[in-house]
Every structure is written in structure tokens, then in C-alpha cells.
């Protein structure tokens, strides 16, 4: 693709959830290829920042602590001043909220690009239609359209490639040595049972049943989760009583993709670990409840399987799910048989 302008100092802005940040990386990679001599800065939430350090497509990670240091109107002005002092000549905004648009306009870049569906999008210098029918990665890549003469989505997809996160080869070797010592000649199945939204969580007791039959079928269970998932795991451990490799509440975000890459299969709700796993060779089983893959957040890899209840007209019940089932039956998750997931795992292991 041929660029229409030259930019030397570029900011890509997406302080959304973890999965959203990970799904920004093909766009960042494409921008780096289009402008190889430019300095590329990526803004994400501070709790995710280290996952994107030491990646060659990103020169600087600039965290936006929107709930802390830069909270509220005056915090927004303070962060806008920091951005303005960096003199970005191009800012690409993946976020669609009013505060972000206002903030980035105050940063005074030469060119500000975002989605037409964003709040205050009339403030953008260039705006692009956000196609809800395609994958989120492809939606993000569509923001390249104003930057190149011969834009096509297919060429943008090829340029962007797969998602990228920080990966530590030395640490990976140590993890695999440890795993092979305590669990030789067994397939490792990782479970990530948490989610910010409760209606996106496969019930912990059913995760426990799945883990139990897997352990008894000679698989090794590996548990992933942050302190935010403690409620779900407290429920899980009421039912699961067998051995497992314990990575709960212990892994720094910068090392999460390295640890996830160490398992053969990851079974997860539709949440951040799925998208991190998409940057690795690990096979993914993604369980959808309140949300659906057609919303654009399925694993961005062919090395994946989707599990969902296709018989419910009430799905999806929101953009992100919620904390309560609007129909009060939660059949989208309750009616998924863990034996169905076990069958997929057995098929992968053949």
C-alpha cells in the first residue's frame, strides 16, 4: 500500500479492556510497516502496559490512568497537555467515547483519525465507518483507509498479520522444564474461568466438573487467573479436589502470554486470555455466553474452537454481557455440557 502523507511521530490510542488492547496490535504492526522510520507510541491502561513492552513494533508505551492519576475533567486536561508536548503528527483513535475524542483533539496532532460512530467524531480530521459485521482486528485495520492511496481490507489484513504480545523465550524454556518435570508426557490444559462480566462466565462448578474428568483422563490441569477472578475460583474449589499446576494470582501481566504459550490447550470464557492466547501457538477453546462471535471478538487465529448455545434467540444480550441474565435463566451458559468441551479436547489430543 502507498501512503498519502509522511508521519514521524504516531500515537495509537486504545485505553479499553485487555482484549481490545491486544486486538490493536495488527493495526500497530501495519502502521509500523507503512512508516518504518516513525516513532510509534501506544496508549493503553497502566495495568496492561507491560504486556506491550519489548515489542519491536512499539517504541513507547504511554499508559493512560483514566481511573486514577488522570481521572475526571482536570485529569483529562493534564494528560492532554502531556500528549500535546509530545507533538504527535498523527493520532489514530480506536476508542469511541467522548472523553477520548475530547482528549485527543486537545493534544493537537496534525491529523486525528477515528471511527464515525465515536462520540464527537466531527472533531476528527478523518473518520472511517466502523463495520460491525467484521472482526474487531479488521475494524481497527480499516482506520488505515485515509492513510493510503490503494487501501483494501485484504491488503490491510495481510500487512497487519497476527496479534502480538510480549514473549520471553528464556522464561518459556524454564516454564517448560518445570512442567515436564512435574507432569511428564501429559497434555496440559489451561483454564481461565474469570471475566469482568458475570454473564460471560461459564459456571465455576461446571468448569470444576470439566477439570475433574480431564484430570482423571490423564490430562494435567493448569489454572490461570488474576486476583479479580478470586470469587470465581473460590466457587470452583468447592467442587474441584484434584491436583493442578497453580499459576493463580502469581503471574505479572508482562509474562502472561509466555505462561499461556506453555500449555497445549486453553479453555477460557470470551475474555482477555483468549486474545493473548491468539498471539501464541496454544490451541484455544473459547466459551461464549451472553456475547456471540459475530460481534467481532472471536479468537484471531485458526487454531481455535468456539463453544456456544446456538438455540437461544436472546443472544447476544449486550455488547459486553452484563452481571445478570435479563431472562433470569442463564441458559446461554448453564445449558452448555462440559462433556462437549471434553470431546473437543480429546479430538485435539488425538
Quick one: pLDDT at residue 350?
73
Instruction: Please tell me if the domain spanning 9-160 has the same topology as the one spanning 169-349.
Output: yes
Instruction: Please list, residue by residue across 198-226, b when 16 or more beta carbons sit within 10 angstroms of its beta carbon and e when fewer do.
Output: bbbbbbbebbbbbbbbbbeeebbbbbbbb
Give me the torsion for CA of 148, 154, 158, 161, rounded to 10°.
100
Residue 37's pLDDT is 96
Return the pLDDT at 249. 94
Domain ranges within the chain, ordered by starting residue: 9-160, 169-349
Over range 63-80, report the average pLDDT: 95
What is residue 294's predicted lDDT score, i.e. its pLDDT?
A: 94
Q: Which CATH class is domain 9-160?
A: alpha beta
pLDDT band at 323 (very low <50, low <70, confident <90, very high): confident
202 secondary structure, DSSP code? P
Sheet-wide strand order for 60-61: 60-61, 39-43, 9-13, 90-93, 111-115, 126-128
pLDDT attached to residue 321: 79
Query: Could you give the percent of the chain with pLDDT greater than 70?
Result: 100
DSSP string, 307-328: E--TT-TT---SSS--SS-TTS
Q: What is the pLDDT of residues 200-258, one digit of tens each?
A: 999 999 999 999 999 999 999 999 999 999 999 999 999 999 999 999 999 999 999 99
Fold of 169-349: Rossmann fold (3.40.50)
Where does the chain show beta strands of DSSP type E? 9-13, 39-43, 60-61, 90-93, 111-115, 126-128, 188-192, 220-225, 245-248, 265-269, 283-287, 304-307
- Spatial distance between the Cα atoms of 205 and 188, rounded to a whole number of angstroms: 20
Confidence of residue 143 (pLDDT cuts 50, 70, 90): very high
Model confidence over 19-51: pLDDT tens digits? 999 999 999 999 999 999 999 999 999 999 999
% of the chain at pLDDT higher than 90: 94
| Gap between the Cα atoms of 143 and 253, Å rounded | 28
- Tell me 132's DSSP state: T
pTM above 0.85, yes or no: yes
Residue with cell 499459576: 247
Grid cell in block for residue 336: 452448555
Element (H, E) at 85: helix 72-86
Span 87-103, mean pLDDT?
97
Q: What is the pLDDT of residues 328-339, one digit of tens each?
A: 999 999 999 999
Q: What is the DSSP letter of 56?
A: T
- Say what the pLDDT of residue 160 is: 97
Amino acid at each position: 500500500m502507498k501512503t498519502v502523507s509522511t508521519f514521524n511521530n504516531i500515537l495509537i490510542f486504545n485505553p479499553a479492556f485487555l482484549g481490545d488492547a491486544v486486538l490493536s496490535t495488527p493495526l500497530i504492526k501495519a502502521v509500523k510497516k507503512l512508516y518504518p522510520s516513525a516513532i510509534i507510541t501506544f496508549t493503553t491502561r497502566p495495568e496492561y502496559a507491560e504486556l506491550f513492552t519489548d515489542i519491536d513494533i512499539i517504541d513507547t508505551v504511554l499508559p493512560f490512568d483514566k481511573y486514577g492519576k488522570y481521572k475526571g475533567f482536570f485529569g483529562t486536561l493534564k494528560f492532554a497537555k502531556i500528549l500535546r508536548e509530545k507533538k504527535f503528527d498523527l493520532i489514530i483513535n480506536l476508542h469511541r467515547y467522548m472523553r477520548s475524542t475530547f482528549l485527543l483533539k486537545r493534544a493537537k496532532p496534525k491529523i486525528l483519525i477515528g471511527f464515525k460512530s465515536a462520540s464527537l467524531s466531527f472533531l476528527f480530521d478523518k473518520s472511517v465507518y466502523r463495520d460491525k459485521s467484521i472482526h474487531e482486528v479488521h475494524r481497527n485495520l480499516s482506520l488505515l483507509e485515509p492513510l493510503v492511496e490503494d487501501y483494501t481490507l485484504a491488503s490491510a489484513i495481510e500487512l497487519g498479520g497476527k496479534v502480538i504480545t510480549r514473549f520471553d523465550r528464556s522464561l518459556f524454556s524454564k516454564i517448560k522444564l518445570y512442567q515436564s518435570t512435574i507432569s511428564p508426557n501429559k497434555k496440559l490444559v489451561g483454564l481461565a474461568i474469570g471475566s469482568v462480566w458475570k454473564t460471560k462466565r461459564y459456571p465455576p462448578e461446571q468448569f470444576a466438573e470439566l477439570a475433574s474428568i480431564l484430570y482423571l483422563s490423564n490430562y494435567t490441569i493448569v489454572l490461570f487467573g488474576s486476583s479479580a477472578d478470586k470469587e470465581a475460583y473460590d466457587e470452583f474449589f468447592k467442587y474441584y479436589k484434584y491436583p493442578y499446576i497453580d499459576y493463580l494470582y502469581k503471574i505479572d501481566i508482562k509474562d502472561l502470554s509466555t505462561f499461556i504459550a506453555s500449555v497445549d490447550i486453553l479453555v477460557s470464557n470470551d475474555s482477555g486470555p483468549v486474545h493473548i492466547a491468539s498471539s501464541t501457538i496454544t490451541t484455544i477453546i473459547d466459551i461464549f455466553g451472553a456475547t456471540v462471535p459475530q460481534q467481532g471478538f472471536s479468537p484471531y487465529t485458526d487454531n481455535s474452537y468456539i463453544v456456544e448455545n446456538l438455540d437461544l434467540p436472546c443472544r447476544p444480550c449486550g455488547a459486553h454481557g452484563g452481571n445478570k441474565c435479563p431472562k433470569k435463566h442463564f441458559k446461554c451458559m448453564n445449558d452448555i455440557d462440559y462433556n462437549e468441551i471434553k470431546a473437543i479436547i480429546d479430538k485435539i489430543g488425538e
